[in-house]
A and B are shown apart, each in its own frame.
Chain A
């Protein structure tokens, strides 16, 4: 065909005028609403895009909000274990005369109170005599 195509002239096509006319007259024409459908589809495709944009924006806001929350998250105060000397605990327990009314809250309150006093006495001991009251007398 590579060689033949160089020898095809306009005159060679004249012989096809009849079949050309026949094909031309049979050209399909459309009488439906395809163009309208097409337009509607493209418009809805556009609104699809804005839907995606909205979704992306919403997602972005959620991510920012989550990050902000994480960064500003305050850890709840940890209840630290505290150690109580045996002497202090015995003092506290023995201070309850009516054992029927003893409960955990009361014991804890008492211990905290004792510990505060103990710290004060520790500070006083330390300042007055030097050294630790607990270490010296426990």
Chain B
């Protein structure tokens, strides 16, 4: 516990090593969560940076060391509430910016993966923001309903309901797309 407190103190003092550890550990999750909401990677990066900045600038707000990840998600969630509209109004697409691999086999794999992910990101956009967040946190970040409820300041029952209806909607949408592709 003492080590964690020391580590945390050094993070807030912005010492390079612990700060780097924190960023490497949590940044991909936060960025992915925001990307799922805003769909645009530049906005996701910007909001991820702001999430960490808020965390670092207000150490007094952080109480439970064990819940650092959830606390960061909470900041990201709050930020997305205010900034999501502005961010999603831009139209650049994240996957246009991915570096292409040189080797043919890797390239084709990369394109397939890229298309799949793009499809999923577009798919998520059919959900209302609350449902989208629940799905991302549950499926991509493997959080429990209880944790999600705390992050989003909802009851566990509401989170379950959001998840249930979101999955139902997503499944229907995928079936619909598959049918369309089958016809074509």
Residues of A whose CB lies within 8 Å of any CB of B are 1, 4-6, 8, 12-13, 16, 18-20, 22-32, 34-35, 38-39, 41-43, 45-46
Q: From known contacts A16-B171, A42-B19, infer whether A4 and B53 are also in contact, taking CB-CB under 8 Å.
A: no
Which chain A residues border B24 with CB–CB below 8 Å? 35
B139 nearest in chain A by CB position: A23
Q: Which of B13-49 contact A (CB under 8 A)?
A: 14, 16, 19-20, 23-24, 27-28, 31-32, 35-36, 45, 48-49
Instruction: Indicate if B7 sits at the interface (CB-CB under 8 A).
Output: no
Instruction: Indicate if B161 sits at the interface (CB-CB under 8 A).
Output: yes
Which chain B residues border A13 with CB–CB below 8 Å? 163-164, 167
Main secondary structure of the interface of B (DSSP, over half): helix
Contact of A5 among B32, B158, B167 (CB under 8 A): B158
Shortest distance from the beta carbon of B74 to any chain A beta carbon, whole Å: 19
Which chain B residues border A39 with CB–CB below 8 Å? 16, 19-20, 23
The answer for the CA separation of A41 and B36 in the assembled complex, in Å, is 24
Query: How many residues of chain B are within 8 Å of chain A by beta carbon?
Result: 39
Instruction: Indicate if B170 sits at the interface (CB-CB under 8 A).
Output: yes
The answer for the CA separation of A19 and B157 in the assembled complex, in Å, is 21
Contact of A43 among B14, B35, B161 (CB under 8 A): B14
Contact of B167 among A1, A19, A27, A28 (CB under 8 A): A19
Which chain B residues border A32 with CB–CB below 8 Å? 99
B165 nearest in chain A by CB position: A1
Which chain A residues border B168 with CB–CB below 8 Å? 16
User: Are A26 and B120 neighbours in the complex by a CB distance under 8 Å?
Assistant: yes
B141 nearest in chain A by CB position: A27
Which chain B residues border A12 with CB–CB below 8 Å? 164
User: Are B27 and A23 neighbours in the complex by a CB distance under 8 Å?
Assistant: no
Contact of A42 among B28, B53, B165 (CB under 8 A): B53
